[in-house]
Amino acid sequence: MSSIFYASIILVFVAVVMAIEGAWEFWNSRHGPAARRLESRIRSVSAANGAPRESVSMLKRGAHENASPLRRKLAKLALVQTVTRQLQQAGLTWSVGQLLGFCAVIPLVVVAVGSLSPVRFDYVILAAALSAMLPVLYMRRRRGKRLYQFERQLPDACDMLARSLRAGHAFAAAIQMVGDEFPEPMGGEFRVTFDEINYGLSLNDALTNLAQRVPIHDLRYFVIAVLIQRETGGNLAELLDSITALVRERFKLFDKVRVLSAEGRMSAWVLILLPFVTAGLMLMINPGFLDVLWEDPAGLRVVQTAALLMVLGVFWIRRTIAIRV
């Protein structure tokens, strides 16, 4: 074999390696960890209502300069801004358009699958209409779980802030330590706050943005206490210790209430799942036994009445076990 053949093989190998490296760099620049972190921070700053206009206008232009005119007009609506803020609080990378797309696609899938089943078509339409709320419910569940995790991490974060202040660090440096040491969601939110301070935003505005991004009462108490202390003076470390003790005592009370209401929640789950489990077992034992429920008009009324009573029972049990402290 000639040297030209070996040279061509080497050149093809180098070209393939460079193509793979270029594809990886292109993907990483748009979907890598750094790109996702930058997009999350831009969305968090853009979703803040109380941020100064001059501090976020450039970020908003960068985020929407490639968008269509309709999308730019929709982004200015209060409802769209609220949904965007809730998506950011849930830790999701979805846009409002993607959320609406999921809400539109899932019912179509339910209708397509339900048309192949022996269930009546009106029930399929009802199930499809209810399934349109699944993405919203998923977002709300993720949001509640993320805010709960942040609330549970808050006392430890206040402890670290107090220890950092006693060690002689500035408050901004203490915020940076919390952002570097804590996992999500506490670490990410405090990193955004430190970046805002580091890029020229005042400490008061950065803490206000933090309280608006994370709507937790304990965090708002923390922000208000820090802002008042900066105006009146005092020992901020002792103030943080007091906030930590107060939050932990509230957690103890909440846990006690949750234990006392566990029986009610278990009863609710049993009452909700029992009819479906029983119907499933009947269909397995005798497949045609329950056909009268959707073939006979009286059976349809029985099913509708049972569903209405079940919904009312769920709301009643939920109100009974929802003990507010």
Please tell me the predicted confidence (pLDDT) of residue 44. Answer: 55
**H-assigned helices in the chain:** 3-31, 33-46, 53-64, 69-75, 78-89, 96-114, 121-131, 134-166, 171-181, 186-198, 203-213, 217-232, 236-260, 262-285, 292-295, 297-321
Query: pLDDT tens digits for 263-277?
Result: 778 887 888 888 889
Please tell me the predicted confidence (pLDDT) of residue 319. Answer: 79
The band of 279, judged by pLDDT with boundaries at 50, 70 and 90, is confident
Please tell me the predicted confidence (pLDDT) of residue 38. Answer: 59
Closest by CA position to 200, among listed 165, 161, 172: 172
Higher pLDDT, 182 or 19: 182
Rounded distance between C-alpha atoms, residue 117 and residue 251, angstroms: 48
Q: For the residues 290-318, what does the mean pLDDT come to? A: 83
The band of 57, judged by pLDDT with boundaries at 50, 70 and 90, is very low
Higher pLDDT, 146 or 39: 146
CA angle 46, 52, 57 (to 5 degrees): 50
Higher pLDDT, 269 or 38: 269
The band of 53, judged by pLDDT with boundaries at 50, 70 and 90, is very low
- Residues listed for the chain: 325
Please tell me the predicted confidence (pLDDT) of residue 36. Answer: 63
Query: pLDDT tens digits for 86-108?
Result: 888 888 888 888 888 999 999 99
Question: Quick check: 320 pLDDT over 80?
Answer: no
Question: Quick check: 16 pLDDT over 70?
Answer: yes
The band of 24, judged by pLDDT with boundaries at 50, 70 and 90, is confident
Rounded distance between C-alpha atoms, residue 236 and residue 224, angstroms: 12
The band of 41, judged by pLDDT with boundaries at 50, 70 and 90, is low
Q: For the residues 226-251, what does the mean pLDDT come to? A: 89
Q: For the residues 175-201, what does the mean pLDDT come to? A: 90
Please tell me the predicted confidence (pLDDT) of residue 54. Answer: 43
9 burial level (CB within 10 Å; 0-12, 13-18, 19+)? exposed
Least confident piece of the model among 140-154, 186-200, 214-228, 260-274:
260-274
Closest by CA position to 251, among listed 318, 321, 319, 153: 153
Question: Quick check: 171 pLDDT over 70?
Answer: yes
Q: For the residues 47-61, what does the mean pLDDT come to? A: 45
The band of 33, judged by pLDDT with boundaries at 50, 70 and 90, is low
Rounded distance between C-alpha atoms, residue 233 and residue 191, angstroms: 26
Please tell me the predicted confidence (pLDDT) of residue 5. Answer: 63
Please tell me the predicted confidence (pLDDT) of residue 153. Answer: 93
Please tell me the predicted confidence (pLDDT) of residue 39. Answer: 61
3-state secondary structure 268-313: HHHHHHHHHHHHHHHHHHCCCCCCHHHHCHHHHHHHHHHHHHHHHH
